[in-house]
Amino acid sequence: MQKLLGVAAALVIASTALASAGRPAAAATVVDSRTATITIWHAYVAGSAEEQAFDTVLVSVRPRFPHVTFRVVRYPFTEIFARFAADPAHGPDAMIVPNDRMGSEAAAGLLRNVTTSMQPRAASLTPQARASVRVSGRYYAIPESTKVLGLYYTTSLPGATVTATPAPAATPAPNATPSATPATGAVPRGGSPAPTASIPGAGATPVAVPTPVPTPVTTPVPAIPAQLATTGALLTAVRGGLNLGFVADAYFVVGFFPAFGGRIVDSTYRCVADRTPGVADALRYLRQLALAGASAYPIDRYVAMQHDFANGTLDAVIDGNWWGGDYRQALGTDLRLAPMPAGPVGPARPYVNADGWFVNTKRPNQALATKIALAMSDTSAQTTQMTAAAHVPADATIPVTDPLAAAFSALTKTGSIRPLDPAFDAFWAPFGTAAKKVVIDGADATAAVHTACSAMNAANGK
């Protein structure tokens, strides 16, 4: 889903280069006095609001680990997971990334089980964050924030009027089977298929998670302009001159599937998207949008869509909160957010996923890396990312005071938790191809969905 901008070479930053020049160091409690070099990977776009917030947090955390040299490496989002899987022993001690591959990485024994370290925080997590970082009842990541897609627009939207705001639907239960959980929009598609495998230690008794009692925070559902509220209204608006942009790729279009009655997999993760017309109907609708004048971008032109919205060429785009801080810098108070439009069968339900800190089991300093990850994701760090980059805090007790983050927080409550089973990794590539072929190239939707479904099942041996 995310951070496809800035396809740059790896950047190594010594911790000393991040110190605030010309300012006295703030007093800090030393968390660990060991001498070590800790390598951190991230995929934030160079110069983005997210990277700036990350750098701010790192500057504040450094004094707590006075003898640690922080080696920070930035890789493009399109490369970071493959690099980690290819050579984890020479990879990061910890990395801050979305939970795209958490299921398969945990199954392969690459991620540290941080359940014990998470016990003091577990009760304060949002339900969405908690569900996004646990496999078989165990925590394999320390969550920083949750992410979801929305429909950005500006106050220059032609003929903008506002409808009554609907009550949000509840997020489906995280433990529901895929057949019971609506299948929708997701994090960026995975690469090569990963085999289904058991999670190390899955047979042990999971640690009980207390029921959270968070500080109440008001996060109103974003108001919906009438022409953005439903798929039919949006199509009419595009035909009338609305300049809409969206990416024709699995991550960005899968949120429309349940709006048309589509279902991706059954309870065994066998693809069933070709057994009912809903998924094909959703792709046909998106093709209609493109024919009506909407700009459908292939995934390799995602950057172009972001630039076109930021410079005013587009009136609205479907995108996630990872770029919210940058859109806000470009568009200021003209920026608005609505949910993805509801379809003829029901609401769109983009997947909710988490950005989290993952600790590498193939590196020697796991305990120290875990302490640093906890520091880099504490309430102060989450607040910094919220105010600078529109992240939705994983900690439910943090007041979501940033308006854009609050709007996205509401949307996380109406989405579905992204499936974490390794078998779902085989969804992204074939359905990304199907989306492009149908929406941009005009291929037959039914045939494209059947081909994609067959490829997913073949990859998983089903």
The first and second tokens of residue 263, run together, are 């279902």
Residue 96's H or E segment, with its range, is strand 94-98
Q: 207 by DSSP, 3-state: which?
A: coil
Q: Which domains does the chain have, with CATH numbers?
A: 11-18+28-148+352-412 (3.40.190.10), 149-192+215-351+419-459 (3.40.190.10)
Range in 119-123, 153-157, 354-358, 433-437 with the lowest mean pLDDT: 153-157
Range in 10-24, 142-156, 183-197 with the lowest mean pLDDT: 183-197
CB contact at 8 A, 257 and 282: yes
pLDDT at 222: 56
Q: Read off the DSSP letter of residue 173.
A: P
Name residue 435's amino acid: A
The first and second tokens of residue 29, run together, are 């409690």
Closest by CA position to 302, among listed 264, 253, 246, 262: 246
The first and second tokens of residue 316, run together, are 């609205």
pLDDT at 31: 67
pLDDT one-digit tens code per residue, 377-433: 999 999 999 999 999 999 999 999 999 999 999 999 999 999 999 999 999 999 999
Range in 68-82, 214-228, 361-375, 388-402 with the lowest mean pLDDT: 214-228
Task: Give the HSE-up count for residue 61: Cα atoms under 13 Å, Cβ half-sphere.
Answer: 25
DSSP-assigned states of every residue in 26-73: PP---S----EEEEEEE-PPTT-HHHHHHHHHHHHHGGGSTTEEEEEE
pLDDT one-digit tens code per residue, 318-349: 999 999 999 999 999 999 999 999 999 999 99
Say which residue the tokens 């279902």 belong to. 263
Distance (Å) of CA 78 to CA 5, 42, 358? 10, 12, 18
Q: 133 by DSSP, 3-state: which?
A: coil
Considering the entire predicted model, what is its pTM? 0.83
